[in-house]
Structure 1
Amino acid sequence: MEYHFAGCTLNDARLTLTRAGAQVAVEPKVFDLIHLLVRHAGDLVTRDRMTEEVWAGRIVSESAISACIAGARKAVGDDGKTQAVIRTVARRGLMLVVTVTVDEKEPEQGPSFNGWENTQRIRYASSIDGNRIAYAITGSGPAVARFTPNMINDLEVEWNIPTKRRMTDAISRQNLLIRSDTLGSGQSDRRVAELDFARQADQMCAVLDAANVDRAAVLSESGGVLPAINMAARHPDRVAKLIIMGGYVDGPERRTTSRAVDPIRTSIDAGWDKSQRGFLMGWMSSYCPEGPLDDLRAITEMARNATSKETMLAIRDRINAASVAPLLPKVQCPTLILHARHDAGHPLDEAQKLAAGIRNAELAVFDTANHLPLAGHPLWDQYVSVVTEFLAH
């Protein structure tokens, strides 16, 4: 259906919102809240009803609810002072106070790939040495290529993990999102002779070629920053802009002169055996101590099944010894760096080194200890909003 109100159109089949004819980028929970309000225009929607439908009944902080309401008002051209579209009913809830008309005609056929389908379609590109690289496409618009942390991803599994799926959907509402599994993991060929970040950048270029995309924004998380920076520095004609979340310049071994035992490597070595999976959960929890735990467990299990222990230990050794410092001056595209203030895995100082080394880079700091935000965390909506807004401009 299409709901028309206050110069806006909400299409609940395509999950799109337009205002004055222009598409508005909205985070999934903000979209869900607006959808709830337009379906009950003129009626009081209580806080309990919002929590039940938008947050699936989870316990959620007042700050998260307030941020979602503010996002909904902004998306429809309203604000907390005017409240001309969304009115607060003190201590009770919200009410949409404008006229809504509903168009129940069947929507036009959408794009072949979109982030809200129940199934995804996995395709394959070939690396220069003939290995198969799995990739998937969702959404439409300016292209975005994503680098995930090395070797822990599986396109098929992550499709059903809420945190991963919500970010995929949020970006796919405004961009063509290209996701892939690094060679050696997931749905890609696991017979990999060499683990090299420059080669991984070349492999993403091969994926772009297979997808008929000349140039894309690049979104990278954690260890994915290493091939992402290689791609931006070595293939500047292929990278329109760069987002780095939880990144670093120097691996842990380069940050200190001491040769202390790497607890993450120890956890990987001990925890890849299914009977000892608690060690892996300890690894993931050290990166995201504020949770929530449900998605963290799913991500942990995905990592364990995505590749072999031998490959994961080899990539850990390369990450520990890596440095992208010489490449930073070669990155010329607009760059946004996001980092957790209390990140124990990669300290804020590493993000500051990235921002200082890349010309005109911007740094946004989130007040959390989670290395990467997860859905359900109070800062999740803010994280999604910052990413989608940077990609939209």
Structure 2
Amino acid sequence: MGTTEADAVQDIRFARSADGVGIAYAVHGSGPPLLIDACWLSHLQFDWQSPVWRHFLVELGRVATVIRYDERGHGLSDRGVTDHSLQARVADLEAVADDAGFDRFALMAMAQGGPVAIEYAVRHPARLTRLIFYASHAGVPQGASQDQLELDEAFQSLIKVGWARPTSEFRRVFTSMMIPDGTEEQMKWIDDLQVMAVDAETAALARSQRQLTDSSDRLPELDLPTLVVHSRGDRMVDFARARHLASNIAGARLVALDSENHIVLADEPAWPVFLREVTDFLAPDRVSGGVESTAEDVTDVLSPRELDILRLAAEGLDNDAIAGELVLSVRTVERHLQNAYAKLGLQGRTARTAAVARLLSHT
């Protein structure tokens, strides 16, 4: 049974990046792991009840164990960060992926997360089962026109002058580009998210450093199933950049959504199309990852460490005792158990009992 909106919960955790920056990430849902590469604006707690994002979180949580994180300097991650380079952001993704504990996972790049996901996929091909780009791109091509340079300068000025103002007239410019078809409630939420997620100085600094990033030359190196999903009328990231991704990644499939919104909203026809395409694309992971497996293949589904922990749980040891036996932290034991439950398609209070029963029926 899938997660319902009423019982959906998220587990917020923290990973430490290579330079010591703390990166907040959250895990929810059940099924094969899907790690979402951070987009420009996020706040793990504020997003959870969002009239703009909530349907993404609920519905994706029904088909996958969703891992998402706040970019450095944003949301619940460490603030006051000055290094927003590609290398630093890739290190953040590496830290979250390692801390979450999944051996392999699907990766979804959203918006500005594209270059980071591309670089990660090139460096760690064995970790990924498949790759999704949603409203994303490979980076900012160098040699921009004078018009583009002037537009970028105008955006930077809007951030510096209007981001922190108590009224939202300046922030509404960005909001209107993200969800031009949004209701006033939805637009106001994006207005508020901007100041909730990041301060003006960091927003401007991070954007200026992202403008220097282009991973287009890495695209031919990607060799895994890839889905590119993009709104035809996206005003934040032009549809041409989705075509660029799909045409330069071998075997990639491009799905054009009939929408003007950068963030597809729950009540527009494009939303069920997006959900169906992503669900179908993840289906092979759902089978091979063990969500639909039986008791006979538990030992093939779980990692050796997860099996060790589950065997001790079957002996009646609690998490503290398991941690002592294996010389691990209690948090690490809990994380491995949660990952095991996700792989087995289990959730809720009975997950531990069901996992142990499945293991015992096999041995």
Cα offsets for 1:199-244 (capped at 9, x unmatched):
2222222112212112211112111212111211222122221111
Determine the C-alpha separation between the residues in 2 that align with 1:328 and 1:237: 17
Cα offsets for 1:291-323 (capped at 9, x unmatched):
244223213311222112111101211233321
Decide whether aligned partners of structure 1 residues 249 and 120 sit closer, same or farther in structure 2, where only a CA change above 3 A counts.
closer
Cα offsets for 1:93-151 (capped at 9, x unmatched):
xxxxxxxxxxxxxxxxxxxxxx753653311111122221111111222111012323x
| 8 Å Cα contact 1:181-1:187 kept in structure 2 | yes
Task: Please tell me the residue identity of whatever aligns with 1:256.
Answer: S
Match of 1:194 in 2: 83
TM-score, normalised to structure 1's length? 0.67
Cα offsets for 1:312-371 (capped at 9, x unmatched):
101211233321111111221211111122223322221111111111111111122212
Determine the C-alpha separation between the residues in 1 that align with 2:197 and 2:232: 29
Match of 1:355 in 2: 246
Higher strand share: 1
Match of 2:71 in 1: 182
Pairing 1:260-299 to 2, within 5 Å after superposition: 260-262=150-152, 263-299=154-190
Determine the C-alpha separation between the residues in 2 that align with 1:132 and 1:322: 23
- The Cα shift of 1:194 comes to 0.9
| 8 Å Cα contact 1:242-1:336 kept in structure 2 | yes
Match of 2:113 in 1: 224
SS at structure 2 position matched to 1:125: strand
Match of 2:328 in 1: none
Decide whether aligned partners of structure 1 residues 388 and 162 sit closer, same or farther in structure 2, where only a CA change above 3 A counts.
farther
Is 1:312 matched with 2:203? yes
Match of 1:243 among 132, 138, 152: 132
| 8 Å Cα contact 1:225-1:247 kept in structure 2 | yes
| 8 Å Cα contact 2:9-2:28 kept in structure 1 | no
Decide whether aligned partners of structure 1 residues 298 and 345 sit closer, same or farther in structure 2, where only a CA change above 3 A counts.
same
Match of 1:3 in 2: none
TM-score, normalised to structure 2's length? 0.72
What percentage of aligned pairs have identical amino acids?
A: 30
Task: Please tell me the residue identity of whatever aligns with 2:10.
Answer: Q
Match of 1:125 in 2: 15
Cα offsets for 1:155-191 (capped at 9, x unmatched):
0100010332221121111211111111111111113
Match of 1:210 in 2: 99
| 8 Å Cα contact 1:149-1:221 kept in structure 2 | yes
Match of 1:34 in 2: none
SS at structure 1 position matched to 2:166: helix
Determine the C-alpha separation between the residues in 2 that align with 1:347 and 1:284: 16
Task: Please tell me the residue identity of whatever aligns with 1:316.
Answer: R
Task: Please tell me the residue identity of whatever aligns with 2:228.
Answer: I
| 8 Å Cα contact 1:231-1:239 kept in structure 2 | no
| 8 Å Cα contact 1:267-1:283 kept in structure 2 | no
Cα offsets for 1:263-310 (capped at 9, x unmatched):
432322232123242211121212321224422321331122211211
Higher helix share: 2
Give the gaps of 5 or more residues in structure 1. 1-10, 16-114
| 8 Å Cα contact 1:254-1:320 kept in structure 2 | no
Is 1:375 matched with 2:266? yes
Is 1:166 matched with 2:47? no
Count of matched residue pairs: 282
Decide whether aligned partners of structure 1 residues 252 and 267 sit closer, same or farther in structure 2, where only a CA change above 3 A counts.
farther
Determine the C-alpha separation between the residues in 2 that align with 1:182 and 1:139: 21
Pairing 1:56-135 to 2, within 5 Å after superposition: 116-117=6-7, 119-135=9-25
| 8 Å Cα contact 2:8-2:28 kept in structure 1 | no
Give the gaps of 5 or more residues in structure 2. 285-363
Cα offsets for 1:62-92 (capped at 9, x unmatched):
xxxxxxxxxxxxxxxxxxxxxxxxxxxxxxx
Determine the C-alpha separation between the residues in 1 that align with 2:230 and 2:135: 5
Determine the C-alpha separation between the residues in 2 that align with 1:169 and 1:123: 19
Is 1:140 matched with 2:140? no
Pairing 1:311-350 to 2, within 5 Å after superposition: 311-350=202-241
SS at structure 1 position matched to 2:151: coil
Determine the C-alpha separation between the residues in 2 that align with 1:351 and 1:119: 32
CA RMSD of aligned residues (A): 2.1
| 8 Å Cα contact 1:205-1:238 kept in structure 2 | no
